[in-house]
A = this chain, B = another copy of it.
Amino acid sequence: MQPTIRPAEQFDVRRGNLSVALRRLREAGPRSRARLAEETGLTKATVSVLVADLVQRGLLREVGPPENRGSGRPAVDYELHDRVYGIGAEVSVDYLSVTVLDLRGEVRARKRVGYDVPRAEREATLDALSQLVRETTSEVPGRPAGLTLAAPGNVNPGTGRVDYAPLIGWYDAPVAAPLADRLVDQLGDAALRVEVENDVKLAAIAEHALGAAAGTADLAYLSGEMGVGAGVIAAGRLVRGTRGHAGEIGHLPLNPAPAPCACGRTGCWETMVGLGALLSLAADPDDPVHDPQRDLEERLAVIVQRARAGDRRTLSTLEQVATGLGLGASVLINMMNPAVLVLGGYFAVLGDYLLDGVRREIADRVVAADADGCRVELSRLGFDAAALGGAYAALDRVFTDPTVVPI
């Protein structure tokens, strides 16, 4: 139950304080060493040493020229360097995408390509993906701190494997190592660490770090796709479960109607609020919104348009989905007591039409009064949230332990 039983040494102190300085600069923006000392509680002497170390590692740089502030010696401010970046990649049902995020939290490059090769051909997919990574990073000067691949399905980050991802046809598949092998040549950096994680969990990390729930230690994220997945961050840490499979919320047996689910069971929550449920409630089978050839965002735009035009069937469908969504959301809130619930995926796209109903249902269903103070927010990160979270996670290693970047 305790963290690993490993002796502490002097160097851990240094490591920790490097991290303190770096994180302070991330949170509070560029500032002088004197100010950093005051704010972190470290002495000026120590901060000078730490900052020099971080500069040598390429994580910090002087922001010149020195600035006068009224009286006294002008301060030299330091800021996070933009030449170290994290890479987030995503394999999805019908596209591959890569996002590059620098230390300062700015997206430096973003690419997305349609990809329709049969997914069972994993080697080919990994080839295409590493190709896309190379293209995307070639535009960005600097060096990568790591890469996280987002995959839809059950992922075990501990083993670097995708355990079960029917959408892309990957079953018990080693992924982190093969991808790392491909990229070692391309990026030629021993520091590059490759990890795999579930897409919804990474989106939750993105919301936690950069999105609607920034600054909150306890949040839940719900993503509406064909299925529904959850990502939970509790006390600032992602809840993974023993095999990394936590968050399988789509098959909660909540539907009183025994609607058949893709999983073979009936009455799963997905049959109330999954994309399939929404579409079949909202439109007859021959309606173009069902056409799987058309882009999903376009099809959703049609729904939004109809709702805006006051179409009764669309509005009543959205009302119904909102109620179902609130029902499942209340389960999450009762069990995890998050400070914020973020709705992502297609829920965010249709959010304006869902939010009232969701909030109403949550208020009814959450046991503690006033929904236990849980805010409900829409994701504003778009469909690249998972890749963004992956890039952030890769960078986070650096913030936790700046010494992973060699001098």
Binding site for B on A (CB under 8 A): 1-3, 5-10, 12-13, 16-17, 19-20, 23-24, 27, 40-42, 46, 154, 163-164, 208-209, 216-218, 230, 232-237, 239-254, 256, 263, 265, 327, 330-332, 334-339, 364-365, 367-369, 372-373, 399-400
Contact of A234 among B2, B46, B241, B327 (CB under 8 A): B241
User: Are A337 and B7 neighbours in the complex by a CB distance under 8 Å?
Assistant: no
B2 contacts A236, C-beta separation under 8 Å: yes
Cross-chain contact of A252 among B5, B16, B240, B331 (Cβ < 8 A): B331
A164 near B6: Cβ-Cβ < 8 Å? no
Which residues of chain B are near A237, meaning CB under 8 Å? 234-235, 237
Q: Contact: B241 with A338, CB < 8 Å? A: yes
Asked if residues A249 and B337 are in contact (CB atoms below 8 Å), the reply is no
Query: How long is the Cα–Cα vector from A6 to B400 in the complex, in angstroms?
Result: 13
Task: Give chain B residues whose Cβ lies under 8 Å from the Cβ of A331.
Answer: 252-253, 331
The reply to whether B40 and A7 form a contact with Cβ atoms under 8 Å apart is: yes
Flag if A335 contacts B248 (CB, 8 Å): yes
Residues of chain B within 8 A of A242, CB atoms compared? 216-218, 337-339, 373
Q: Is the CB of B23 within 8 A of A16?
A: no
When distances are taken between beta carbons in the complex, the residues of chain B under 8 Å from A7 are 16-17, 20, 40-42, 46
Chain B residue, CB-CB nearest to A236: B1
Q: Which 4 A-B pairs have the closest CB atoms?
A: A241-B337, A8-B16, A248-B334, A242-B339
Q: A237, A246, A254, A365: which has the most chain B beta carbons within 10 Å? A: A246
A337 (CB) vs chain B CBs: closest residue? B241
Are A3 and B236 touching (Cβ within 8 A)? yes
> Shortest distance in angstroms between A200's beta carbon and chain B's nearest beta carbon?
12
Q: List 14 A-B contacts (CB under 8 A).
A: A1-B209, A2-B236, A7-B42, A8-B12, A8-B16, A12-B12, A13-B13, A163-B368, A218-B242, A237-B237, A241-B338, A246-B336, A248-B334, A253-B365
Q: Which of A6, A46, A252 has the most CB of B within 10 A?
A: A252
Taking A12-B16, A334-B252, A335-B249 as contacts, is the C-beta distance between A40 and B5 under 8 angstroms? Answer: yes
